[in-house]
Amino acid sequence: MATLLGIDQCKLVELPVIHNPQGNLTFIEAERHIPFQIARVYYLYDVPEGAVRGGHAHRELEQLILPIGGSFDIVLDDGSERKRVVLDQPRVGLYLPRLIWRELENFSAGAFCLVLASAPYDESDYYRDYAEFRAAVGA
Ligand code: TYD
């Protein structure tokens, strides 16, 4: 498929940190640290041991996924290539463009996964069937 939309477009984003003996502060500005306006924020927590989240791709949605507490893995798949990314630092997120199948797994106990998204929730934007996703990306 076109490299414009493949796994190579999934980027680790290193965010600024304001260090302070009283604690660190990290911030994210739309269209400065991430290439989209933020229309929605959601988060995952209380994820039980062994759980797998995701298992879908989006037609148009772009996201930044951040491990603001603990750690987890994201398995990325663009229909032809698969790659595992470990997220374990609150200042390093993963930018996902459209048309990337993802699975989130290996959550540490008490992990928090914060997601910034480019659009409001819309079930019609999801591919939840892997075969349909692969057909859509021409894999
Ligand atoms: P889903 O995106 O499948 O979760 P995950 O990828 O983390 O496993 O969403 C799970 C359910 O929550 C599904 O019924 C849709 C609903 N949901 C919303 O209503 N609003 C949202 O912003 C999100 C992300 C999900």
Q: Is the CB of 35 under 6 A from ligand 1?
A: no
Index of the ligand 1 atom closest to the CA of residue 44? 7
pLDDT score of 35 more than 60: yes
Please tell me the distance between residue 20's alpha carbon and the centre of ligand 1 in angstroms.
Answer: 35
* Cβ–Cβ under 8 Å, residues 80 and 135: no
Q: Is 11 in the pocket of ligand 1 (CB under 6 A)?
A: no
pTM: 0.96
Write out the H or E segment, with its range, that includes residue 136: helix 130-136
pLDDT at 84: 98
Question: Is the Cβ atom of 139 under 6 angstroms away from ligand 1?
Answer: no
> Whose Cα sits closest to atom 15 in ligand 1?
123
Give the distance (Å) from ligand 1 centre to CA of residue 121.
Answer: 8
Query: pLDDT band for position 5 (50/70/90)?
Result: confident
Distance, CA of 139 to CA of 137 (rounded, Å):
6
On whether the CB atoms of residues 75 and 103 are closer than 8 A, the answer is yes
Q: Is the CB of 53 under 6 A from ligand 1?
A: yes
Q: What is the mean pLDDT of residues 99-124?
A: 98
What pLDDT score was predicted for residue 32? 94
**pLDDT tens digit string along 62-74?**
999 999 999 999 9
DSSP annotation of 46 reads: S
